[in-house]
Chains A and B, each alone.
Chain A
Amino acid sequence: MTTAPAPSDQGGPELRSSLQVRDVRKHFGPILANDGVNAEFRLGQVHALLGENGAGKSTLIKILSGIYEADGGEILLDGRPVQIRSTADARASGIAVVHQHSALIGRLTVAENIALAHDGLGFPRKAVVSRFTQAAADLGFTIDPRRTVESLSVGDRQRVEIVREMMTAAKVLILDEPTATLAPSERDVLFATLRRLADLGSAVILVTHRLEEAALYCDAVTVLRAGRTVFEHEEPSRLSQADLVRAMVGDVRLVAERHTSPRGEIALSAAGVRSRGPVSGMAIEVAQLTVRSGEILGIAGVEGNGQSDLAEMLSGAVKPDHGSLLLHEREIGALPGHERTSLIAYVPDDESLGFSVNLRVWENLSAEEMLYRRPPTAGNKKAMRARSAELVERFNIRPPSIDAVGGQLSGGNRRRVQIAREFSKTPSLVVCGYATRGLDVQSIQQVKNWCRELANGGAAVVYIASDLEEILDLSDSVAVLARGRLTASRPAVEATTEWIGHAMLSTETPSEQTA
């Protein structure tokens, strides 16, 4: 690959020069990952691409970087259509990606890594060293290219990757969730670097789900939801965060009528729960919470605010450090396995916690049975297989085979398997952590119906989701999780946009990283 000097001599940004995405579509089976994405990324600007997980950001990046090929739509570079069929095409078009996880080799020096990426040679020549130093200086920092990558901070590694891409004459630099692994101080340095990069004439695309980054540091913003562009704005600094929240998680309709189904006794109660989140390490706090039998509590909030941690604790998989979390007066975290698995139905966000790609469908469906209730003797196996066949039928699992190995199933069907296993119990508590992720619209409705059925059957349901419409459509009451803190719950009819928006963005307690 030929290399050009750092783009310092490309002249000032022209507004006409841009990367345009028009009506890009991409489907995986029945799932439309990108269903009409439109965006224009201009040279000289830092552009935020916002969206929840699953909104279609990653798919778009993969299309732009040549990993996936779009099913439809156009990509235009400076007004001319380009075909991106491979990563080599993307590079030739000047599009480069810095991925969330470092793609550098830790044992090698910075210069060796750069040389490796450019010429496939392990030994840097002097030219590489000086060009790197120059390019870094253009961006306003110095890193000794003779240091090994593993001796650098996370932020410095990121900057090495940025310089590496810029040395390949990239005009469009995409950064995938670059701040996810950075400390706040490093974050500021990164944005200074990105600003410098834009000033030198590049288009910088910042993929993120953090609103404040878009508002504070970016020149333009595009919001994706459910695979579509739902919002574009040229001056994000003038937007209120509530505007962005609404764009990301959907319009909030007021709930006109609400099921006033007779509520039972208190099933789930939490008091004074404080804990280091088992998944994110974030400090989790639930001051007070009760959910009655027959009640569905929706937990709203922008993703990455401790949802997985809360779900793990509510399901009894992890005991909180302080406070009590009771299910019918019994400490959830202390329930023995056989009781926990029969009393609590839990669909976790993380697939590996409830599904195995190595086990067959019937084994996935019967895993708890075989652990706690029925040893897999020949007779029991026959019964469990028969029951699995019923579940596959009832929950529409495709392919409809109980002997299919987990890995053969699509993401949505893996989720159905988990839902089938958990929802076929007669639980006292149901915990759904993004249970509908990866499912199509029809299936999402089904899942909501099943949740209502379980509630009507006497279960307390905790439903964690990011889509506000989904939550308000289903829930009897709503609480909001922001920065690890769960607000008090209130009836869904009283959950106004203002209240939810305010609670979501509550900045009273800055997140404490105890990691």
Chain B
Amino acid sequence: MLMSVALLGPIAAVVGADVGHTYSTLFLTSFGSPFGIGVLLIYSIPLVLVGLAVAVPYRAGLFNIGGDGQLLMGAFTAMVVGVSLPGLGAIPGGVLILLLAGAAAGAFFGAIAGALRAWRGVSEIVTTIMLNFVALFLVRYFVAGPLRDPGLTFNASPAVDPGLRIAKLAGNAGIPMSALVAILAAAVVAWWAYRTRSGWAHRMLGTAPSFARAKGVRVEVGYFLALVAGGALGGLAGATELVGNQYRIGFGFSPGWGIDAVAIALLARGNPLAVVPIAVFFAFLRNGGGALQSAVGIPGTVVTLLAAVPVLIVAAVTGWRTYRKFRGEGG
């Protein structure tokens, strides 16, 4: 990952920008002020949660590419619950109900892909990608139609009641308290993965499915639950983003977190604790990217592109090891 940051210098030089200025902008955007740190965290939270949504099935050997769809469904369901039950805002902890509703909706989406994978052998990669579109257009239809906030000049849902939001400390772009949700989720997933019997069964399922089956692990149930859990985390990501940052759902609710999350989970090799710093790194690049565009004139996409460097390195290293192993067997 350091490599990708290092690569930025030569790129800046090539496009004729001041290298020093490029780096200082990149770092100061995220770490130069409490405001910067707040924005970094706001970018990080959904990435951590969706990263976990990918990491959990990944540990069982499954690819959840449906993070975006689960996230949208989670946010949408939380919004519907929040808007249709305004009384919830008066109850302390009412926001938890929104988070749970979001997680449940995500889990439902995960369950569709999970059931098809487990009992019908349908590739979860295909189903989760397709379900992304189902979620996207379903939500678009509602926020542009029946659930559109009439007071707005653009297509978006009504905002959730202030009583149902998770606060940001120190003003509008301060430290988001919803970071606690992400940290707690990472901790719980890590505990489950490394300290429980079912976490172990899940790991065996991912690393040695025939061994697991031979020792009595119910493989189909395991695949199903892995995608249900992944979906729930994706839904939680959406609900958390809704109540912690955006409050309403517009057309651009997710900038593609579900896809970044795949890269994050791969780099973390499914380790829930490693998901956190890697997600923050991705947020750092995204956050800095915008600033570089306006302040230095380097296209923001260049920085996003740099996020691919560690992925490529990991892929190359894994490929090389596989090649070596293969050659090694040849005696």
Stretch among A128-136, A346-354, A488-496, A500-508 lining the B interface: A346-354
Q: A67-B330, A359-B207 are in contact. Are A353 and B200 (CB under 8 A)?
A: no
Q: Does A61 contact B (CB under 8 A)?
A: no
User: Interface residues of A, CB < 8 Å — how many?
Assistant: 30
**Are B197's CB and A371's CB within 8 A?**
yes
**Are B211's CB and A353's CB within 8 A?**
yes
Q: Does A141 contact B (CB under 8 A)?
A: no
The CA of A375 and the CA of B200, in the complex, are separated in Å by 8
Q: Does A250 contact B (CB under 8 A)?
A: no
Q: Does B142 contact A (CB under 8 A)?
A: no
The CA of A357 and the CA of B201, in the complex, are separated in Å by 16
Chain A positions within 8 Å of B196 at CB level: 375-376
The CA of A338 and the CA of B217, in the complex, are separated in Å by 10
**Are B195's CB and A371's CB within 8 A?**
no
How large, as a class, is the contact surface on chain B?
A: 20 to 34
Q: A residues 310-349 with Cβ under 8 Å of B?
A: 317, 336-338, 340-341, 348
Q: Does A372 contact B (CB under 8 A)?
A: yes
**Are A372's CB and B331's CB within 8 A?**
no
1/0 per residue, CB under 8 A from A, across B308-331: the answer is 000000000000000001000011
Of B194, B196, B204, B214, the most chain A CB neighbours within 10 A belong to B214
Q: Does B92 contact A (CB under 8 A)?
A: no
Among A26, A317, A356, A372, the residue within 8 A (CB) of B208 is A356
Q: Does A511 contact B (CB under 8 A)?
A: no
The CA of A358 and the CA of B321, in the complex, are separated in Å by 13
The CA of A67 and the CA of B217, in the complex, are separated in Å by 39
Q: A28-B331, A359-B207, A359-B208 are in contact. Are A367 and B215 (CB under 8 A)?
A: yes
**Are A371's CB and B216's CB within 8 A?**
yes
Chain A positions within 8 Å of B201 at CB level: 371
Q: B residues 170-220 with Cβ under 8 Å of A?
A: 194-197, 199-201, 204, 207-208, 210-211, 213-217
**Are B211's CB and A340's CB within 8 A?**
no
**Are B216's CB and A341's CB within 8 A?**
yes
**Are B210's CB and A352's CB within 8 A?**
yes
Q: Does A368 contact B (CB under 8 A)?
A: yes
The smallest beta-carbon distance between B163 and chain A, in angstroms, is 40
Of A68, A340, A375, the most chain B CB neighbours within 10 A belong to A375
1/0 per residue, CB under 8 A from B, across A366-404: the answer is 011011100111100000000000000000000000000
**Are B210's CB and A353's CB within 8 A?**
yes
Q: A residues 28-66 with Cβ under 8 Å of B?
A: 28
Q: A352-B210, A370-B197 are in contact. Are A407 and B325 (CB under 8 A)?
A: yes
Sample of 14 A–B contacts (CB below 8 Å)? A338-B216, A352-B210, A352-B211, A354-B214, A355-B208, A356-B208, A356-B211, A359-B208, A371-B201, A371-B215, A371-B217, A375-B196, A375-B200, A376-B196
Shortest 7 CB-CB contacts between residues of A and residues of B:
A337-B216, A356-B208, A358-B207, A353-B214, A370-B200, A352-B210, A375-B197
Besides A352-B210, A355-B208, 16 other CB < 8 A contacts? A67-B330, A68-B331, A352-B211, A355-B211, A356-B204, A356-B207, A358-B207, A359-B207, A359-B208, A370-B200, A371-B200, A371-B204, A371-B216, A372-B216, A375-B200, A377-B195
